[in-house]
Amino acid sequence: MDELKTIIFRTDRIGDFLISCPFILSYLKKYKKSEIVIISSEYNYQYIKNFEFIKNVISLKNETKFLPKILILIKMIIILRKNKYFNVIVLDGKKRSFFISLFLKGNKSILLQSKGLEFLSKLFKYKNVINYELQNQFKNFSFLSSLLDFNINHKEINIYNNYIFTKKFKLDKKYILIHLDEKWYSKYYYRDFTDINPNKEDLKVFIKNIQKILNDKFDVVITTGSKKIDTIEQYTSDFTTIEDNILIKKEDNNSVIFYKNTTFNNLEYLIKNSSLLICCEGGVSHVSHNFNIKTIAFFQKNRLQHTKFWTGHMENVNLYERAKMKEIINDNNFYHLIKENLPN
């Protein structure tokens, strides 16, 4: 058995990987000679490779058609069976990851079980099963670490140690960051969320109200996700270009700066240096948690239990219910929350 290799399945999204990092780093602290192999999704493959403590990343292609899917799984099993592993850990609760793990040999095989795997895990007598539905993610990892004889101390862990930022932006003033990604707009996002959908005028009023709170102490920085959103293009149409993909609109007391087509790596740098983040709950709020940046994150009311599952340990994140944008514009509680979370 190769005690230098531990295989971890994380074939989902960036936020899912980030919440796993304290567990992985604590594991490496306990098993100092271990080498972590991550089985990733195509979506998070390139991102995970940025972290030096992950020595090997293997992407598992997502295929919807039955026969190609089976062939991909068989190919992955053949590749992975070339090694024996110290531990095999399925963190993503995916059926495909569970299936592959059945054919791998390790000191311990551990499954974070999601719906649909209860019967299969019993059928195949899978040991060390942790039920996703009964715990939050933080408790899952704490219980998981106890099975492997180590503890997780989130406050002592810096997952971004030696992390390489490809570009470092110079800003004249402290700033709050508003991340306007596709989760704000129902037509761009795949989940059935309550609309926020701010139009051009909504955004103007929303950001103007925030500027009034900030006075001259802070600027406002806006970033977007991977999809081009027409409303944001309209809102920034009268901004002045000061650098490639950086636009600005100067006001009397502060400025609004728009970083267009920002890479996720650049977004991480902007989050790291911000004074406050406003965003929809997801991978971005997981980044802010790891930098200990105060955050106001919009969440879906009927997904509160699911949201708390992922964010229950995040002391810096304030959850705020999604609502129509016009309701937020006139909601003094929201602006009061901004004031409360701004640094002195």
Q: State the pLDDT at residue 145.
A: 86
For residue range 62-72, list pLDDT tens digits in order: 988 999 999 99
Same domain, 137 and 249: no
Same domain, 140 and 257: no
Same domain, 297 and 217: yes
Could you tell me which residue, 124 or 34, shows the higher pLDDT?
34
Q: Give me the mean pLDDT over the 104-127 stretch.
A: 75
Same domain, 196 and 332: yes
For residue range 203-245, list pLDDT tens digits in order: 999 999 999 999 889 999 999 988 888 999 999 999 999 998 9
pLDDT at 123 over 50: yes
- The boundaries of the domain holding residue 23 are 2-156
pLDDT at 138 over 60: yes
The Cα–Cα gap between 129 and 67 comes to 29
Q: Give me the mean pLDDT over the 122-145 stretch.
A: 69
pLDDT at 258 over 50: yes
For residue range 38-97, list pLDDT tens digits in order: 999 999 999 999 998 998 999 999 988 999 999 999 999 999 999 889 999 988 888 899
Residue-wise over 294-329: b if at least 16 C-beta within 10 A, else e? bbbbbbbeeeeeebbbbbebbeebbbbebeebeebb
Same domain, 195 and 222: yes
Q: Does residue 55 belong to any structural domain of this protein?
A: yes
Handedness of CA 128, 131, 137, 138 (dihedral sign): negative
- Specify the pTM: 0.87
DSSP strands (E only) in the chain: 2-10, 35-41, 56-60, 85-90, 106-113, 129-131, 175-180, 219-224, 240-243, 246-250, 255-259, 276-280, 295-299, 317-321
In total, the chain counts a number of residues equal to 344
pLDDT at 132 over 60: no
Same domain, 83 and 191: no
If you average pLDDT over each of 130-134, 158-162, 233-237, which comes out highest?
233-237
Same domain, 92 and 184: no
Same domain, 196 and 325: yes
Find out whether 229 and 223 touch, Cβ atoms under 8 Å: no
The Cα–Cα gap between 65 and 214 comes to 52
Q: State the pLDDT at residue 306.
A: 66
- CA dist list (Å): 240 to 223, 236, 249, 257, 314: 16, 9, 6, 9, 37
pLDDT at 260 over 60: yes
Share of the chain above pLDDT 90, in %: 44
Same domain, 286 and 255: yes
Q: State the pLDDT at residue 1.
A: 47
The Cα–Cα gap between 1 and 264 comes to 38
Q: Give me the mean pLDDT over the 274-294 stretch.
A: 92
Residue-wise over 138-153: b if at least 16 C-beta within 10 A, else e? bebbeebbeebebebe
Q: State the pLDDT at residue 311.
A: 67
Same domain, 257 and 216: yes
Q: Does residue 30 belong to any structural domain of this protein?
A: yes
Q: Does residue 168 belong to any structural domain of this protein?
A: no
For residue range 298-326, list pLDDT tens digits in order: 888 776 666 676 666 677 888 888 877 77
Q: State the pLDDT at residue 228.
A: 85
Query: Total structural domains in the chain?
Result: 2
Same domain, 151 and 27: yes
Same domain, 131 and 181: no
Q: State the pLDDT at residue 115.
A: 67
pLDDT at 133 over 60: no
pLDDT at 9 over 80: yes
Residue-wise over 123-137: b if at least 16 C-beta within 10 A, else e? eeebebbbbbeebbb
Q: Does residue 170 belong to any structural domain of this protein?
A: no
